[in-house]
Structures are given as structure tokens and as C-alpha cells.
């Protein structure tokens, strides 16, 4: 890339975006010093607030007037930097034509590049479903896939709104030459060679090894039995009974983030072979459209394909006994960790204790005295 470049990383969710953002943020001083890369913002959430405030109707609950200047401040920062800058958040994936027009207008005169990180649907679909479960949703994986496959888009879960890679590329890249629109593919598990971090840094023109400050684990994955336990809990924890702020603190932060996160099992649900066959057809269309559009690909488009024969057949919901065992173990661990209630006796409590003890002594005496 030439100088005076701004890279817009616009998604998609569940493709390592949080990891990339956290690592860029923790290493941004090194990136600026050694690679001339600017990752702007006063706090890492500035990129989130920018994406939200550019789409206030879509993200009304997250719009915070105190951060209304997040996008203008990012624009000022990248305009004032003569090298390469990167702005990154997955919520940019839902931007419509009007938002894209404003963003590109605000960045006029700079060399703008758009980047989408993409992962195969065989992993994306179960991952997004699990994330939904961690946010009070109740559908099973089978119900989720059936909805994506059979229902009209208007009646579906908003999966494709965030995960339609080709549609997002077309929206963001409509006024850009294809060589400025980039697809960074997520390598398959266990693949040899460059990692997602390597690929992303290579696109940005920085040395990935130099940005070596570690990133703590985040965005925890759950095992199949853990996910099923939370899904069933959600039947009793819907918004009409438990407000979101309480659910977020009690379930997402404590139960999932503290208790379940430490469990050793990190396996995930997978699609059935029949579901994977449908996903494979969708993936083939996506790969064909990306190739035809002439976008720059960092990695390998074959990373996005789905091989149904590699999926174990007959995958089912977790066995009830396994879910019960996970639930009991989770409850036990929660009780072990939870803070104890304040046991300082109140005046009323002390009076009741005295009366109870007195009653116990009288009863004991009566039991020892035999009537004639």
C-alpha cells in the first residue's frame, strides 16, 4: 500500500475480529513506531462507538450521547496521519448505502481500502448460534439452521445481515477499485503456515512478530453440554423476567465468563452432514462471487469452502444425562465461588436467636421429664 492510506475493517463478526482489535490496541505504540501504522482512538471502544453512532436507528440501545464525536475524532486522526491507519469494528458490517456514502465522503482524498475477514460457514453457523444462546436466545441449533435455510430473509434471525460476506463487500466496495477491496480468510484449524494475525498484519504492512504483547483469552466458547444448559436456562431468563443488564452481569460475565470459561472442554457443536451440504452450496456461491468480482484475497478462498464428507454424521443434541451432570457441576462451582451473604446478626436476628435457643432448652427439659 502507498502512504496516506486508511484501512476499514468492516467485519464480519465471529471471524477473530475481537482478537485482532485487542492485539492491535495492545501493540499500537509498537505498530506506530516500527511500522508507521496508526490505530486511532482514546480508548479501544472508540471504534465501537463510531460504528454505532453512524447507524443510530440500527443500534439505538447502544447509542451514547457522550460518545457522539467518536467517528469525527477517528476521521481527524487518520486525516492527520501521513502513513497507514486502520479503523476496525464488525458492526460496520450492517452499514447501508447511506452510511457507506458518508464514510467514504468523510475520508475523501485518502486512499481507502476495505477489509472483510471471512470464515467457512461450517464453523460460522454454529458459532453465531452459540453467541445467540449467550444472549438470551432459546432456539436449538437445528431450529436455527432450519430458519436460515427455509424461511424468507425477512423472517429469519439476522444472521445474513452480519454474515453475507459478498453483500457486505459489494456495499462497501461499490465505489472502490477491486484491488482496494480485500478478503482475509481465516485458516482452517491446524492448518500450517500463516495465521489470521499474520495475514491481517501483512495486509497492513507491519511485522506481526514485532507486535508481541499478548492478548488474554476472550469471547469464550462453550462445550455442547454447556451451551445446552445455558439455552435451557434462557427459557426462564427472558427479558420480560430478567432485564438485559442483569442477564449480562449474572450470566455472561459471571456464569459464562468466570465459571464456564475455566472448564477444560472447548469442543463445539457441528452441523449435520445434511446441513453441511446446504452450507457447502452457499459457500461455493460465495467463493465464485468473490473470485468473479476480482477482489484481493489474502489467504486462500478454499479456506471458505465446506466439505460435507468431513462432517461426522448423526450429530445430535447433547444427551440429557450429560446436560444434567454439567448443570450440577456448574451449580456447585457457582456456589463455591459466590460471595457469602452478610452474616452479621441484626438486633431482630439476635432476639429471634435468643427465643429459638430458649425454646429449644425448654423443649429439651420437657422431653427429659416423664409424666406420672
Per-residue pLDDT 10s for the chain (372 aa) are 446 999 999 999 999 999 999 999 999 999 999 999 999 999 999 999 999 999 999 999 899 999 999 999 999 999 999 999 999 999 999 999 999 999 999 999 999 999 999 999 999 999 999 999 999 999 999 999 999 999 887 787 899 999 999 999 999 999 999 999 999 999 998 888 889 999 999 999 999 999 999 888 765 689 999 999 999 999 999 999 999 999 999 999 999 988 987 766 667 788 999 999 999 999 999 999 999 999 999 999 999 999 998 877 655 788 999 999 999 999 999 988 888 777 665 555 554 554 455 555 544 444 444 443
Domain boundaries, the chain: 5-336
Looking at the domain covering 5-336, what would its CATH class be? Answer: alpha beta
End-to-end CA distance of the chain: 106
CA 162 centroid distance within chain: 12
CA angle 69, 72, 76 (to 5 degrees): 135
Q: Say if residue 289 is exposed, middle or buried (CB neighbours under 10 Å; 0-12, 13-18, 19+).
A: middle
Distance in angstroms (rounded) separating the CA atoms of residues 285 and 290: 9
Entry pTM: 0.87
Angle between helices 273-293 and 141-150 (to 10 degrees): 50
Q: Say if residue 38 is exposed, middle or buried (CB neighbours under 10 Å; 0-12, 13-18, 19+).
A: buried
Distance in angstroms (rounded) separating the CA atoms of residues 275 and 72: 44
Amino acid at each position: 500500500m502507498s502512504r496516506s492510506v486508511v484501512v476499514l475493517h468492516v467485519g464480519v463478526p465471529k471471524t477473530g475480529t475481537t482478537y485482532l482489535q485487542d492485539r492491535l490496541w495492545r501493540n499500537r505504540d509498537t505498530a506506530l513506531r516500527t511500522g508507521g501504522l496508526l490505530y486511532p482512538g482514546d480508548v479501544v471502544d472508540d471504534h465501537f462507538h463510531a460504528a454505532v453512532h453512524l447507524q443510530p436507528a440500527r443500534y439505538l440501545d447502544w447509542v451514547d450521547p457522550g460518545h457522539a464525536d467518536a467517528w469525527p475524532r477517528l476521521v481527524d486522526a487518520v486525516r492527520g496521519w501521513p502513513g497507514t491507519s486502520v479503523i476496525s469494528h464488525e458492526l460496520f458490517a450492517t452499514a447501508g448505502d447511506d452510511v457507506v456514502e458518508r464514510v467514504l465522503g468523510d475520508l475523501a482524498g485518502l486512499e481507502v481500502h476495505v477489509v472483510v475477514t471471512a470464515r467457512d460457514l461450517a464453523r460460522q453457523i454454529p458459532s453465531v448460534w452459540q453467541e445467540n444462546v449467550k444472549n438470551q436466545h432459546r432456539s436449538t441449533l437445528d431450529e436455527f439452521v432450519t430458519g436460515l435455510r427455509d424461511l424468507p430473509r425477512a423472517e429469519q434471525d439476522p444472521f445474513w445481515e452480519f454474515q453475507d460476506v459478498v453483500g457486505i463487500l459489494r456495499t462497501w466496495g461499490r465505489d472502490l477499485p477491486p484491488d482496494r477491496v480485500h478478503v482475509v480468510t481465516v485458516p482452517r484449524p491446524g492448518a500450517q503456515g500463516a495465521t489470521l494475525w499474520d495475514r491481517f498484519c501483512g495486509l497492513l504492512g507491519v511485522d506481526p512478530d514485532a507486535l508481541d504483547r499478548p492478548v488474554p483469552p476472550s469471547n469464550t466458547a462453550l462445550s455442547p453440554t454447556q451451551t445446552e444448559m445455558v439455552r435451557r436456562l434462557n427459557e426462564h431468563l427472558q427479558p420480560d423476567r430478567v432485564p438485559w443488564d442483569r442477564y449480562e452481569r449474572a450470566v455472561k460475565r459471571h456464569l459464562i465468563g468466570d465459571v464456564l470459561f475455566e472448564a477444560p472442554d472447548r469442543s463445539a457443536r457441528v452441523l449435520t452432514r445434511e446441513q453441511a451440504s446446504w452450507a457447502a452450496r452457499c459457500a461455493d456461491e460465495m467463493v465464485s462471487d468473490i473470485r468473479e468480482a476480482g477482489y484481493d484475497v489474502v489467504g486462500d478462498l478454499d479456506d471458505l469452502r465446506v466439505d460435507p464428507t468431513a462432517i461426522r454424521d448423526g450429530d445430535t443434541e447433547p444427551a440429557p444425562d450429560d446436560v444434567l451432570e454439567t448443570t450440577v457441576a456448574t451449580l456447585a462451582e457457582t456456589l463455591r465461588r459466590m460471595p457469602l451473604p452478610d452474616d452479621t446478626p441484626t438486633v431482630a436476628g439476635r432476639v429471634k436467636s435468643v427465643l429459638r435457643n430458649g425454646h429449644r432448652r425448654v423443649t429439651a427439659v420437657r422431653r427429659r421429664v416423664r409424666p406420672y
